[in-house]
């Protein structure tokens, strides 16, 4: 089974080279991606494939439940490299419906170290306790996956890296999306935040929209 992966690789590299003989040579000299993707580890949400981009076009960081935490040196280092060095124009925070990390937080399932990792999501659940009590139990998972996108995008906008980029007027937009593993489609939860002063308004608008969407469901 594992040998198949190496065979797949040979075939893929040959196909790419057939279309553009210099593809890998050109790419090996430098990377100039315009996008930075922060997504979930889930195998069903592969960044490049779902947004139709080739190697070299998107810088990627993935962790369980697409969490942005200032104390996470891994995520913040990737963000800093993407924004300060690669000078990406867009940072996309992408969650997905049916996220195991979000659902583990909802159901309080214990998985030792993962429990610590999803602590931030448990805090989000507590923050929106009142709203959650009004959502139909069937819709709680979808609702929370979207709320998690809003909260993590908010945290992303408040990182030192993004704030300083905006302060020096570097053009960088932050986006919050959710992906449907059931239909392969992306939806905007937060269309874009381009400036420090827009954060609160975008957060409130997105939370209101998501609340209305799920509160109106029977
Ligand atoms: Co997930």
pLDDT at 112: 86
Same domain, 55 and 12: no
Whether residue 196 sits in one domain with residue 129: yes
State whether 26 and 37 are in the same domain.
Answer: no
User: Are residue 8 and residue 39 in the same domain, yes or no?
Assistant: no
Q: Would the pLDDT of 79 be above 80?
A: yes
Beta pairing, strands 186-193 & 173-179: antiparallel
Q: For residues 66 and 13, state if they share a domain.
A: no
| Residue 203 pLDDT greater than 90, yes or no | yes
Q: Counting beta carbons within 10 angstroms of the beta carbon of residue 165, is it exposed (0 to 12), middle (13 to 18) or buried (19 or more)?
A: buried
Judgement on whether residues 129 and 187 belong to the same structural domain of the protein = yes
Q: How far is ligand 1, taken at its centre, from the CA of residue 93, in Å? A: 12
Q: Are residues 143 and 170 in the same domain?
A: yes
Its pTM stands at 0.95
**Structural domain span for residue 14:** 1-30
The reported pLDDT for the residue numbered 108 is: 86
Confidence check: pLDDT of 218 > 60: no
114 and 179: one domain? yes
CA of 132 to the centre of ligand 1 (A): 20
Question: What DSSP line would sit under 151-185, residue for residue?
Answer: HHHHHHHTSHHHHHHHHTT---EEEEEEE-TTT--
Examine the domain organization and report whether 3 and 97 are in the same domain: no
User: Does residue 157 have an active-site annotation?
Assistant: no
Query: Confidence class of residue 217 from pLDDT cuts 50, 70 and 90?
Result: low
Reply yes or no on whether 158 is catalytic. Answer: no
Examine the domain organization and report whether 112 and 100 are in the same domain.
Answer: yes
Alpha carbon distance 181, 179 (integer Å): 6
Whether 122 and 24 share a structural domain: no
* Residue 170 alpha carbon to ligand 1 centre in Å: 31
pLDDT at 8: 98
Active-site residue, from 61, 75, 94, 96: 96
Look up 145 and say whether it is catalytic: no
How does residue 216 score in pLDDT terms, banded at 50, 70 and 90?
A: confident
The arrangement of strands across the sheet holding 58-63 comes to 58-63, 35-40, 90-96, 173-179, 186-193
Q: Is the pLDDT of residue 163 over 60?
A: yes
Tell me what pLDDT residue 192 has: 95
pLDDT, mean of residues 192-197: 95
One of 61, 75, 94, 99 is an active-site residue; which one? 99
Q: Is the pLDDT of residue 110 over 80?
A: no
Distance 30 CA to ligand 1 centre (A): 31
The answer to whether 213 and 206 are in contact (CB under 8 A) is: no
Q: Is 75 noted as a catalytic residue in this protein?
A: no
**What's the mean pLDDT in 155-170?**
98
69 and 75 in contact (C-beta within 8 Å)? yes
Assess whether 40 carries a catalytic annotation.
yes
Question: In CATH, what number is assigned to the domain containing residue 126?
Answer: 3.40.1050.10
Same domain (yes/no): 62, 163: yes
Distance 211 CA to ligand 1 centre (A): 21
If one counts the domains in the chain, the total is 2
Å from CA of 65 to ligand 1 middle: 4
In angstroms, what is the span from residue 28 Cα to ligand 1's centroid?
31
């Amino acid at each position: 089974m594992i040998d198949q992966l190496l065979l797949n690789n040979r075939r893929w590299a040959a196909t790419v080279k057939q279309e553009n003989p210099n593809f890998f040579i050109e790419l090996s000299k430098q990377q100039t991606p315009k996008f930075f993707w922060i997504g979930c580890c889930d195998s069903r949400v592969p960044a490049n494939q779902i947004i139709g981009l080739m190697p070299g076009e998107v810088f990627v960081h993935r962790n369980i439940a697409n969490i942005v935490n200032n104390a996470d040196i891994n995520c913040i280092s990737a963000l800093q490299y993407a924004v300060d060095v690669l000078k990406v124009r867009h940072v996309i925070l992408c969650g997905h419906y049916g996220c195991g990390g979000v659902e583990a937080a909802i159901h309080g399932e214990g998985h030792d170290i993962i429990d610590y990792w999803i602590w931030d999501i448990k805090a989000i659940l507590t923050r929106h306790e009142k709203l959650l009590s009004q959502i139909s139990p069937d819709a709680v998972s979808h609702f929370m996956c979207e709320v998690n996108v809003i909260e993590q995008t908010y945290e992303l906008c408040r990182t030192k890296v993004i704030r300083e980029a905006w302060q020096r007027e570097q053009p960088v937009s932050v986006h919050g999306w959710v992906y449907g593993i059931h239909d392969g489609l992306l939806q905007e939860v937060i269309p874009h935040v381009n400036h420090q002063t827009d954060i609160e308004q975008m957060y409130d608008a997105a939370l209101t929209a998501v609340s209305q969407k799920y509160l109106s469901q029977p």
